[in-house]
């Protein structure tokens, strides 16, 4: 039963109305959790609670408020007869068996997040546990003699280690568990020392040390302690990028993603390569983020034949079309414009520029909560 009320045969109350109620004797009461002991007799009713099984023979439930129960309750005694004030139809207020889940139906598919709804469904089926894919643990190693940890006193020539924490936030956002391992200095020995602990986890992400500078040591360590599958990609920002595997003491090949050192480059590279890797580990699809077509407020330039990921804000104009505007300085070190971005406007590697007013593919980073707002509302 979907309601508290009276289970009836719809044919018995076909002529019922508020001014001409049909009177039915009440056979019994059925509470939630009870099992009906007998079928419903012709010309009678059963008082029933929400969630209780409907007795055989009943094909409708009339809510209490559509009966004269209040007038008949009197001194609180048991009701033996009820007046029905409406003509119920077959199926009214009855939840048929299998309405929610049918026998043999797959309830939760592989790769689905275990949400409150999934847990509720599992519990409703009597399950005390379900098989799940373990969240991958991602070790994050920063490299560079120039790095300070946030909270350290400022020093000339030094910068704060922002990459470890922005990448850790992305790891957690996309379903992984982050482990910030600390800072390796610009020496093979320092990096190897941190990586010895990092390879205990499911994947290692390093930041910086993958370019062609005098102190970029990640490639040397990879060559010595693992293998390199790719080195450098044709995109901007994030051209310096490494992917390979590190050798763990237990014989595992631990995936390694070497991100550039520039803060925006590191985040762009992780969005394009780290996020898909985590989704593979979680058994999820699709691997890439959604892309929309939007009209540019500001031109996007491509000076060197690489695919460009320009940081943009995304909004809807007054007629509901998506638009994209630059978030500011597009330098790979300009982290503030990344913080303002809700998408990447993508200029292909064989296009020198996309003028303002043109349509462009935009990879969505964050769907805005105010997605339906016009440009005026953003200001």
**pLDDT, tens digit, 9 for 90 and up, residues 280-323:** 999 988 888 999 999 999 999 999 999 999 999 999 999 999 99
Q: Are residues 114 and 208 in the same domain?
A: no
Q: Are residues 141 and 260 in the same domain?
A: yes
Q: Are residues 105 and 73 in the same domain?
A: no
Residue-wise pLDDT for 136-189, tens only, equals 999 999 999 999 999 999 999 999 999 999 999 999 999 999 999 999 998 889
CA distance 315 to 296: 11
> In the predicted model, what is the mean pLDDT of the chain?
92
Q: Are residues 254 and 314 in the same domain?
A: no
Q: Are residues 275 and 158 in the same domain?
A: yes
Look up the domain containing 123 and give its range. 98-132
Q: Are residues 197 and 243 in the same domain?
A: yes
pLDDT band at 377 (very low <50, low <70, confident <90, very high): very low
Q: Does residue 228 form part of some domain?
A: yes
Decide the pairing of beta strands 203-207 and 137-143: parallel
Helix axes 188-198 and 218-225, enclosed angle (nearest 10):
60
The CATH number given to whatever domain includes residue 22 is 2.170.190.11
Question: Between 308 and 240, whose confidence is greater?
Answer: 308
Q: Are residues 121 and 168 in the same domain?
A: no
Q: Are residues 325 and 272 in the same domain?
A: no
The CATH number given to whatever domain includes residue 165 is 3.40.980.10
Q: Which two tokens stand for residue 49?
A: 């609670």
Q: Are residues 146 and 274 in the same domain?
A: yes
Q: Domains in the chain: how many in total?
A: 4
Q: Does residue 163 form part of some domain?
A: yes
Q: Are residues 128 and 141 in the same domain?
A: no
Q: Are residues 224 and 182 in the same domain?
A: yes
Interior CA angle at 234 toward 313 and 364, to 5°? 25
Q: Which of 235, 254, 281 is the last residue of a domain?
A: 281
């Amino acid at each position: 039963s979907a309601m508290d009320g009276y289970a009836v045969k719809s044919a018995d109350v076909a002529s019922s109305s508020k001014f001409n109620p049909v009177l039915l004797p009440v056979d019994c009461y059925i509470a939630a959790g009870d099992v009906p002991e007998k079928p419903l007799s012709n010309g009678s009713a059963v008082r029933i609670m929400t969630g209780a099984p409907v007795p055989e023979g009943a094909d409708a439930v009339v809510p209490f408020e559509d009966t004269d129960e209040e007038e008949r309750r009197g001194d609180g005694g048991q009701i033996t007869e009820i007046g029905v004030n409406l003509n119920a139809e077959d199926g009214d207020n009855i939840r048929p068996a299998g309405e929610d889940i049918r026998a043999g139906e797959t309830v939760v598919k592989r790769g689905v997040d275990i949400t409150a709804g999934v847990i509720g469904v599992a519990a409703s089926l009597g399950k005390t546990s379900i098989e799940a894919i373990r969240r991958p643990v991602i070790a994050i190693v920063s490299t560079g003699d120039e790095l300070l940890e946030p909270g350290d006193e400022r020093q000339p020539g030094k910068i704060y280690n922002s990459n470890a924490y922005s990448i850790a936030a992305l790891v957690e956002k996309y379903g992984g568990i982050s482990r910030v391992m600390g800072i390796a200095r610009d020496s093979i020995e320092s990096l190897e020392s941190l990586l010895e602990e990092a390879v205990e986890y499911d994947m290692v992400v390093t930041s910086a040390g993958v370019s062609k500078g005098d102190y970029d040591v990640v490639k040397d360590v990879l060559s010595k302690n693992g293998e390199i599958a790719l080195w450098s990609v044709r995109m901007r920002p994030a051209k310096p990028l490494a992917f390979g595997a590190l050798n763990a003491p237990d014989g595992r090949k631990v995936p390694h993603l070497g991100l550039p050192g520039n803060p925006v480059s590191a985040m762009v590279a992780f969005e394009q390569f780290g996020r898909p890797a985590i989704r593979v580990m979680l058994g999820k699809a699709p691997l890439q983020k959604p892309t929309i077509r939007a009209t540019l407020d500001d031109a996007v330039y491509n000076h060197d034949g690489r695919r460009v990921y320009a940081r943009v804000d995304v909004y809807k104009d007054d007629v509901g079309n998506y638009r994209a505007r630059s978030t500011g300085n597009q330098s790979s070190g300009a982290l503030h414009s990344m913080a303002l971005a809700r998408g990447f406007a993508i200029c292909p590697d064989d296009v020198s520029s996309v003028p303002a007013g043109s349509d462009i593919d935009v990879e969505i980073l964050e769907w805005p909560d105010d997605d339906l707002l016009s440009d005026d509302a953003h200001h």
